[in-house]
Amino acid sequence: MSERSDPQDGAAPLHEGGDAAPYRAQRGATSATLSTLPSSGIRRFFELLDGATDLISLAVGQPDFPTPAQITRAAADAMLAGHTGYTSNYGLLELREALSRHLEHRYGVYYRPSEELLLTTGVSEALDVSMRALLDPGDEVLVPEPGYVAYQPVVMMAGGVYVPVPTTPEDGFMLTAEALRARITPATKAVLLAYPSNPTGAVMTREALEQVAEVAREHDLFVISDELYDRLVYGVEHVCFASLPGMRERTVLLGGFSKSYAMTGWRLGYVAARADLLEAIMKIHQYVMMSAPTAAQYAALEAFHSAEEDVRGMIAEYDRRRLLLLRRITEIGLPLVEPRGAFYAFPNVRSVGLDGQEFAEALLEEERVAVVPGVAFGASGRDFVRICYAASYDELSEALDRIERFVRRRLPAAESPSLGQVPTAQP
């Protein structure tokens, strides 16, 4: 029987006589770019949750509602009818037509279904393929911070340079034109907007967005606008950036179904952009993904047809929880900019004598409540934690009782009233 010299199933190569050869690391086995990517602060913290008991999690950013039943039935009916193969690279034309009508009706911005809309496997893919289509090595992308954890890695994996633009509680965590201008260089290619914001819950006003648009015009910048949480706003208007004068042609609009329709596991998003940009984005999409999940596309079509009442009901319940959280966190004595969108709040915890990481770890250990350290969303979030109120009202109320106990043990009662004021910069 001949000796095997080719390793199989990950086994080490064999010396003559059958002994395993010493393992030697292959130089350059993984990408140099990969070695520069930051570790996910959220992933590190979630590892601490493994095995936790009696835990209330306000950490995971997904709806606690099931997908509306008629949406699920529509997907099941489509599969039973044999719609289980690929769709067009762009996605079902009928769904793109419905999406076009939706965007025009809600925001007054029209995209041609045949050549300006692309359905993707979640907004994560939409962001990835858009960045890869737009960026050349060394191109800089300005990104408001605190911001979603994937933005920096996605920019870097596309060969770009991530440039954080800190936002502050004093400005309601809104991106300002002044902060943007201060970081523009000859290498700046684009701005990545993400409002309503994960993690702060901030919503940009029309005036603030118009000022950002003016900067984009002045410096000939593209704008990638991630508007996944567009429907989840409370008492304020969501302004679609592409609807602003002159912005449609320089904007790549990203959106999806995960948050508004409680469809996180279905993995369906979209890109809307002028035809030449969308064609470039689709060129990458067709090679890495082929097409978005077919059953999810039929589900989304049903969502447009029949789920508006469900969406409004979920928004009303999120708002009820938001108001509870706002009142209790303020009474507890943690400074908080009123969140007006998404389902997150971002209180400052420095008054307790801890930074966000220390606060989150101690709260988990002592009170079995999980929140996310703000530093996971960028260095400017170091003194904050993200609280997700996509949990039941009763769970949220119990978690807030536990947070209050935790804070009271560290914060003298005499100090509390002056610390709980809510800044009014947020609309």
Model pLDDT, residue 378 = 95
Say which amino acid occupies 140: E
Give residue-wise pLDDT tens across range 224-282: 999 999 999 999 999 999 999 999 999 999 999 999 999 999 999 999 999 999 999 99
145-163: pLDDT as tens digits: 999 999 999 999 999 999 9
pLDDT, tens only, 88-100: 999 999 999 999 9
State yes or no: pLDDT of 406 exceeds 70: yes
Burial class (CB in 10 A: 0-12, 13-18, 19+), 22: exposed
Q: Count each helix (H run) and each strand (E run) in the chain, helices first.
A: 14, 12
Cα separation, 195 vs 202, whole angstroms: 7
Predicted confidence band of residue 28 (pLDDT cuts 50, 70, 90): low
Residue type, 251: T
Residue 51: band (very low, low, confident or very high) from pLDDT cuts 50, 70, 90: low
Domains of the chain: 41-66+309-409 (3.90.1150.10), 82-305 (3.40.640.10)
Nearby residues of 379 by Cβ (< 8 Å), 6 or more positions away: 145, 164
Whether the model clears a pTM of 0.85, i.e. scores above it, the answer is: yes
Question: Over the stretch 185-239, which tens digit does the pLDDT of each residue have?
Answer: 999 999 999 999 999 999 999 999 999 999 999 999 999 999 999 999 999 999 9
Averaged pLDDT, 8-35: 59
| Pairwise CA distance, residues 33 & 405, whole Å | 44
Could you tell me what percent of the chain has a pLDDT over 70?
A: 87
Please determine, for residue 22, whether its predicted confidence score (pLDDT) is greater than 60. Answer: no
